[in-house]
Structure 1
């Protein structure tokens, strides 16, 4: 008895059957379609990774010198702080809470090809079109912490415990601007490593967040310098610096 080919169930299976027949007759078409599928799959995976896991940013200023150099590219873990908590010492990327970025660079017009290229790079995580709307600093205090500058030895204290900060740029003081703050719950007190050239939490007491960065503005924790290759390294959060800091008072 002759075999009869079962009719495909549903329009999608019918389409797959027609596509299989076309590919079997045309090797070039088969190669082209397979290539399109591979590229589309790669872009989809990259998009999902960028949206939910990792994201790339470049460094436009020297506020985090020596840790980060101008034009360094960093990779950010977007699971922080929604899944993984943000800790003191972490290098954090966050959106402007309001009033921090007084200067917005003028957007240069681009061609359609340029826009498509920028979109592809952003999807794969190699570019961040909204980079100029974000900042990068180091977390010094988190919710409930009492952060003060400075003690008799010019050290910042957190909940009464002084900290020695090896990540601060050589020749910089802990802070020339005194402050005495209690960080609100769900917010962070952040400072640049280049203390003499960083407009951080110290300089925005009149901004909407009073200098604090609410967790809703945090994009994630920077954990690696990915480019240039000569700067490639993991970013330390200097946990030992903060290990003796007591829990904040209730």
Structure 2
């Protein structure tokens, strides 16, 4: 009789365990193919994204229409923005990976910035009126954090094929392509390192809002795209 009474309880635990495993598997599949969650660890993209925001990122956001100037992108910065190995050790990396997967902390190899230069673009700073220029034309940037200059650092570069020139909206707080010109990759990120496009702020709740895709910004590239 005792064995008979224990069976339903055992089956209940097994069912709950299998349900959790199935939910994790489905979540992993969705996040690897369609949508993922990322934590914004800094204020380099203010005012659009604040430090502490959790954002929903579409991995298919650029499939129908390619990346264009003005887009905000989430990307893997290894080899350009970040070292290939963080050096924390396997256990620390595993723990960090779990908290990052849950959206509780940011990744030291995943970044979010705005596309300023596309492949073939000549980007420079600054024009006589202090603006960033693309292919010699001043770039209108209404998204820049209030009070910030388009750039306090002078630069001039031609974006190679297959790469992007990226900058944060809070220019005075952003480490981006400007400060990495002398680093491996020249601070310009391969297009195939782009993970996706932010589409929704999901946390905190008082900031719950979509992240609209802006219209294409600025002049055309040298090849007309």
Smaller-chain TM-score bracket: 0.7 to 0.9
1:57 aligns with 2:38: yes
**TM-score, normalisation: structure 1:** 0.73
Tell me, what secondary structure is at the counterpart of 1:239? coil
Cα drift, residue 109 of structure 1: 6.8
Residue 193 in structure 1 maps to residue 169 in structure 2: yes
1:154 aligns with 130
Distance change (3 Å), C-alpha of 1:160 and 1:99: closer
**How many angstroms apart in 2 are the aligned matches of 1:234 and 1:166?**
18
Segments of 5+ residues of structure 1 without an aligned counterpart are 1-25
The verdict on how the C-alpha distance between 1:41 and 1:108 changes in structure 2, with shifts beyond 3 A counting, is closer
2:4 matched to which residue of 1? none
Question: Aligned-pair distance for 1:215?
Answer: 1.8
1:9-20 → structure 2 map (5 Å cutoff): none
1:248 match: 222
**Structure 2 counterpart of 1:144, from 82, 98, 120:** 120
Spell out the pairing of 1:31-50 with structure 2 (5 A cutoff): 31-50=12-31
Select which of 53, 68, 74 maps to 2:49.
68
State the shift of 1:137 in Å: 1.0
Please tell me the root mean square deviation across aligned C-alpha atoms, in Å: 3.2
Kindly indicate whether the alpha-carbon contact (under 8 Å) linking 1:145 and 1:159 is maintained by their aligned counterparts in 2. Answer: yes
After TM superposition, the score normalised by the length of structure 2 is 0.80
Summarize deviations over 1:137-183 as a string: whole Å, max 9, x none. 11111111122222222222222332221111110000111222221
Cα distance change on mapping 1:206 and 1:82 into 2, 3 Å: farther
User: What's the counterpart of residue 91 of structure 1?
Assistant: 72
What is the CA deviation profile of residues 13-72 of structure 1, one whole-angstrom value per residue up to 9, with x for unaligned ones? xxxxxxxxxxxxx65566555444433322221010111112211111121122221111
Deviations 1:172-203 (A, max 9, x none): 00011122222111110000111111110001
Query: How many equivalent residue pairs?
Result: 217
User: C-alpha separation between the residues in 1 aligned to 2:64 and 2:13?
Assistant: 40
Q: Does 1:182 align with 2:182?
A: no
Q: Secondary structure at the match of 1:188?
A: strand
Higher mean alpha-carbon deviation, 64-73 vs 157-166, is at 157-166
Counterpart for residue 16 of structure 1: none
Q: Provide the secondary structure at the position in 2 that maps to 1:131.
A: coil
Cα distance in 1 for residues equivalent to 2:91 and 2:25:
27
Identify which range, 30-39 or 177-186, moves more after superposition: 30-39
Give the distance between the partners of 1:246 and 1:171, measured in 2 at CA. Answer: 27
CA 1:106–1:41 in 2, change beyond 3 Å: closer, same or farther?
A: closer
Q: Report deviation, 1:127.
A: 2.9
Kept in 2: contact 1:95–1:135 (CA 8 A): yes
Q: How far apart are the structure 2 equivalents of 1:64 and 1:73?
A: 13
